[in-house]
Every structure is written in structure tokens, then in C-alpha cells.
């Protein structure tokens, strides 16, 4: 349908829009609302309040199973380099969920002196090789791809050399910050009511999803297949069923990660530097017309702090 070499060489902005429209036109099923896949970063299994690592993982698997969707897990090597974590990853893979590479060290590659990304990727690739649902997907820690054009292109070359694709996030958010606030609260007050944290998280994620989908419709002219980023943490374990129900009630349809990452938009390589944040943020930045709506960073804890403080969370 399209020339793969051209795509891998870097899509122009216009070609992403045109190809995606043709993909949609050929799709016999029509979806009323936006669609998204669940992508979960930084699998961690250490024990914590409320649920130990095994229970958190089981709760996440159960929520995905109940929703009937295949998710993607982007795993950091240093957190899964032990026998127990290996068994949890095996359960994830056996349930049909995809696995991608998120480096071994979770280093920040958006700085002035980025280290050896290739070695960091290769070190975790060895750990993932045994899982049949491993995919050639790579996600940058902190969604930071390179500060300068030179660094960015070097990073892109490291991925290309390994046959990896950037597992971009379109719906970025600060679920990790809500989780951090909940953990701080439980440390002070183990019996605290956790429900309002779920309320806040669901509304936060829906708000960011609406923002990025609205921006995408203006930048691209259509709603792309989205990737929602959440983390393998307590808030995901506790609230994933509520998150999925909240999205459903707001008109979103959850679909498989394989379906979403097959969309040509995930081969886009926006010509911006620094290259970071949501893919929609990057495409809007490259477009140039949306400067006033692009805060930097796209998402961060301080954006949520005043509202959470006001709610006593």
C-alpha cells in the first residue's frame, strides 16, 4: 500500500495525513468515537502499600482481561532482571499482551550528554527475547528522544539499526504524579480513603485524552488511533477498571495495541528538536500553528499540584 523504505526514511507531515485517511477510508467498520490502546510503562513488582507487586500485576491483568483488550508493556530492564519478575512477565505474555523495550537503565536521553542508547537497549533485549509477544517497539524514557537535531538523528539511527520503532505515546499524562501523591498519603495515613484519588485520576486522564485528540484532529484532520500512557503502579492496579469505564462512558473505544501501532502515524518522525513529549505534541510543534497551546513539558506533576492540593489529596 505504501513504500516501506520511504516510510522508514521519515514521513513528511502531509504523507502521514494522506495515508491515514486512505487507511480509514478502506476500513469497513466505522467507529463513532476515538480509539485508543493501553500502554503501560515501567513494570515494577516491589512490595508497597495496599497491594504487593504480585497483586498489583494480577489486578492489572484482570482489568485488561475483563475489558477484552491486548495492551502493551514497555519494560525497563533494571526492574525486571530477576526470576520473580520474569514469571510476572511470562504471565503478561501468556495473556497475549505485547512487550516492548524501554531501556535497561531508564536514563534520560534528552540531555546535553546522552549516553550509549544502543547498549542500554541491547541489555534489556536479551531479557525480553524469550517472550513470544515481544514486539520491535521502543519507548524513550521520559519520552525524550534527543535535545538537538544531531542527537535526535543519532537516536533514530540506533533504533533503525536494531529494527525498532518508536512506540510513541499520543495521550501523555501525569498518572505517575497521582500515584506519588497517593503513596505519600498512605505513608502518612494508611487508612485514608483512596476513592478520591481514583476520581481525580480518571478525570485527569480523560481531560488529557480530550486535549490530545482535539489537537490531533486540528493538526492531522482526523482522530488517529491513540496510545494512552499509564504506569505499572498502585493507581493503575487500583483504578484501571474505572479508567477503562470512564473512557468508554466518554465515547472512547479501547482496542489492541497491535492495531494501534500498525497505524502509519507511528512511523512519523517530526522534524523538531528537542524531540520529546506526546507524538501529537511533536506533530503540532512541527506544524508551527499551535505554539500557543503547547506547554513544555507537555505534562508534569506541577500542573496537577494546585488542583490536588485544593482537593486535599
Which range binds Zn ion by CB under 5 A, 4-12, 45-53, 136-144, 197-205?
A: 136-144
Taking the complex as a whole, the smallest distance from the CB of residue 141 to Zn ion amounts, in Å, to 5
CA distance 168 to 279: 6
CA distances from 168 to 6, 102, 196, 200, 256 (A): 19, 11, 30, 25, 15
* Total of residues contacting Zn ion (CB under 5 A): 3
Q: Which is nearer to Zn ion, 119 or 307 (CB)?
A: 119
Whether the CB-CB separation of 164 and 155 falls below 8 Å is answered with no
Which range binds Zn ion by CB under 5 A, 9-17, 35-43, 254-262, 300-308?
A: 35-43
Which range binds Zn ion by CB under 5 A, 34-42, 124-132, 159-167, 219-227?
A: 34-42
CA distance 273 to 270: 9
Angle of helix 175-188 relative to helix 234-249, nearest 10 degrees, comes to 130
Taking the complex as a whole, the smallest distance from the CB of residue 172 to Zn ion amounts, in Å, to 12
Whether the CB-CB separation of 61 and 94 falls below 8 Å is answered with no
Q: Which of 204, 125, 196 is nearest to 158 (CA)?
A: 125
User: Cell match 485520576: residue?
Assistant: 201
Q: Which is nearer to Zn ion, 101 or 134 (CB)?
A: 101
Taking the complex as a whole, the smallest distance from the CB of residue 12 to Zn ion amounts, in Å, to 29
CA distance 110 to 84: 32
Which range binds Zn ion by CB under 5 A, 37-45, 150-158, 193-201, 220-228?
A: 37-45
Taking the complex as a whole, the smallest distance from the CB of residue 126 to Zn ion amounts, in Å, to 19
Taking the complex as a whole, the smallest distance from the CB of residue 26 to Zn ion amounts, in Å, to 35
Which range binds Zn ion by CB under 5 A, 134-142, 204-212, 237-245, 266-274?
A: 134-142
Which range binds Zn ion by CB under 5 A, 41-49, 63-71, 158-166, 199-207?
A: 41-49
| 42 lies in the site for Zn ion, by CB under 5 A | yes
| 145 lies in the site for Zn ion, by CB under 5 A | no
Q: Which is nearer to Zn ion, 41 or 213 (CB)?
A: 41
| 41 lies in the site for Zn ion, by CB under 5 A | yes
| 213 lies in the site for Zn ion, by CB under 5 A | no
Taking the complex as a whole, the smallest distance from the CB of residue 176 to Zn ion amounts, in Å, to 8
Taking the complex as a whole, the smallest distance from the CB of residue 108 to Zn ion amounts, in Å, to 10
| 175 lies in the site for Zn ion, by CB under 5 A | no
Strands 275-276, 35-41: parallel, antiparallel or unpaired by DSSP?
unpaired
Q: Which is nearer to Zn ion, 34 or 141 (CB)?
A: 141
**Binding positions for Zn ion, rule: CB under 5 A:** 41-42, 141
Amino acid at each position: 500500500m505504501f513504500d516501506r523504505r520511504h516510510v522508514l526514511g521519515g514521513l513528511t507531515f502531509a504523507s502521514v495525513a494522506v495515508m491515514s485517511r486512505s487507511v480509514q477510508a478502506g476500513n469497513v467498520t466505522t467507529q463513532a468515537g476515538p480509539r485508543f490502546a493501553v500502554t503501560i510503562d515501567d513494570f515494577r513488582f516491589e512490595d508497597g502499600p495496599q497491594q504487593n507487586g504480585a497483586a498489583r500485576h494480577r489486578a492489572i491483568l484482570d482489568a485488561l482481561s475483563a475489558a477484552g483488550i491486548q495492551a502493551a508493556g514497555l519494560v525497563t530492564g533494571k526492574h525486571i532482571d530477576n526470576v520473580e519478575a520474569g514469571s510476572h512477565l511470562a504471565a503478561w505474555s501468556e495473556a497475549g499482551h505485547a512487550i516492548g523495550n524501554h531501556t535497561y537503565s531508564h536514563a534520560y536521553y534528552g540531555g546535553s550528554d546522552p549516553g550509549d542508547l544502543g547498549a542500554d537497549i541491547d541489555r534489556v533485549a536479551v531479557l525480553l527475547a524469550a517472550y513470544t509477544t515481544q514486539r520491535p517497539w521502543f519507548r524513550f524514557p521520559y519520552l525524550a528522544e534527543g535535545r538537538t537535531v544531531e542527537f535526535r538523528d543519532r537516536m533514530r539511527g540506533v533504533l533503525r539499526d536494531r529494527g525498532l520503532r518508536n512506540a510513541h505515546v499520543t495521550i501523555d499524562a501525569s498518572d505517575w504524579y497521582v500515584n506519588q501523591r497517593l503513596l505519600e498519603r498512605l505513608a502518612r495515613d494508611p487508612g485514608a480513603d483512596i476513592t478520591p484519588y481514583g476520581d481525580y485520576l480518571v478525570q485527569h486522564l480523560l481531560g488529557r485524552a480530550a486535549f490530545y485528540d482535539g489537537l490531533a484532529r486540528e493538526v492531522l484532520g482526523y482522530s488517529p488511533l491513540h496510545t494512552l500512557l499509564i504506569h505499572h503502579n498502585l493507581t493503575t492496579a487500583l483504578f484501571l477498571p474505572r479508567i477503562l469505564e470512564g473512557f468508554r462512558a466518554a465515547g472512547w473505544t479501547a482496542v489492541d495495541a497491535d492495531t494501534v501501532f500498525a497505524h502509519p502515524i507511528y512511523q512519523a518522525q517530526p522534524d523538531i528538536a528537542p524531540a520529546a513529549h506526546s507524538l501529537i505534541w511533536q506533530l503540532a510543534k512541527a506544524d508551527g500553528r499551535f505554539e500557543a497551546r503547547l506547554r513544555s513539558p507537555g505534562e508534569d506533576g506541577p500542573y496537577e499540584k494546585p488542583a490536588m492540593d485544593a482537593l486535599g489529596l
